[in-house]
Amino acid sequence: MSRGHFSALVILYFICAAAIVLFVGSRFTVNTVSDAPFETVSEAVLGSTDLTVMQEGNNQMIKRLYGFDPDEIGDVLLYYPLTNMGAEELLLVRMEDPDSSADTVTTGIEDRITSQENSFNGYAPEQYSMIEKSITDVQGNYILFISSSDPEKTDTAFRQAVGAGSSSGPDLTGRIRGLFSSLSGSSTDSSDQATQEGGNAE
């Protein structure tokens, strides 16, 4: 191999390394919008969750438990416990406008988690533990909240279903801005900070 050829290879090598770093960095900030139909995602999520201890909730129940109006958000699916002693719960949301709705939905979920923790704290340790291990996963225009004995399984199915429909994201300027804000350590408005567990794992 000639010296020039070798130098070109080394340059390409480091360009690839830099591009990989940029790509990975961008994943922390890119707010991917999924084109996956709500029916497909809900089918994946429901198919990977044990629903025998839950019942489907209507819009009124969503307003009561989460404090937002589904009609103002987009598509919402709720399964909540059959009894007051149950902690199993599933909320799936597809937001029409993630920028304006994400905070509303995540705040509603956080309030619901706090409310459930207060309900179970002290006398129902298993339910409390289940709520602690619940998963809130924000993937672009989709949000999943799952509290069950195996939330990871539902979350995996959710991510795969949402990921299969991911095709578009913000414009290049948005990506670069997000990347630099990430690298400089400043806070971002990223809603792709996925999997915020309700509590610490063991």
Residues forming the site for other proteins (CB under 8 A): 1, 6, 9-10, 12-13, 16-17, 19-20, 23-24, 27-28, 32, 43-44, 46-48, 50, 52-53, 88, 126-127, 129-130, 133, 139, 148-153, 156-157, 159-161, 163-164, 166-167, 169, 192-196, 201-202
Q: Which residues of 53-91 are buried (b: 16+ CB within 10 A; e: fewer)?
A: ebeebeeeebeebbebebeebbbbbbbbbeeeebbbbbb
Minimum distance from residue 179 beta carbon to other proteins (Å)? 14
How many other C-beta atoms can be found within 10 angstroms of the C-beta atom of residue 52?
Answer: 7
Report the C-alpha gap between 190 and 173 in whole angstroms: 15
Tokens matching residue 41 = 């995602």
Based on CB atoms, which residue is closest to other proteins, 39 or 97?
Answer: 39
Based on CB atoms, which residue is closest to other proteins, 68 or 158?
Answer: 158
How many other C-beta atoms can be found within 10 angstroms of the C-beta atom of residue 177?
Answer: 14
Based on CB atoms, which residue is closest to other proteins, 101 or 147?
Answer: 147
Place of tokens 């991911």: 166
Based on CB atoms, which residue is closest to other proteins, 101 or 134?
Answer: 134
Minimum distance from residue 152 beta carbon to other proteins (Å)? 6
CB-CB contact of 87 with 147 (8 Å): yes
Minimum distance from residue 90 beta carbon to other proteins (Å)? 12
Minimum distance from residue 26 beta carbon to other proteins (Å)? 10
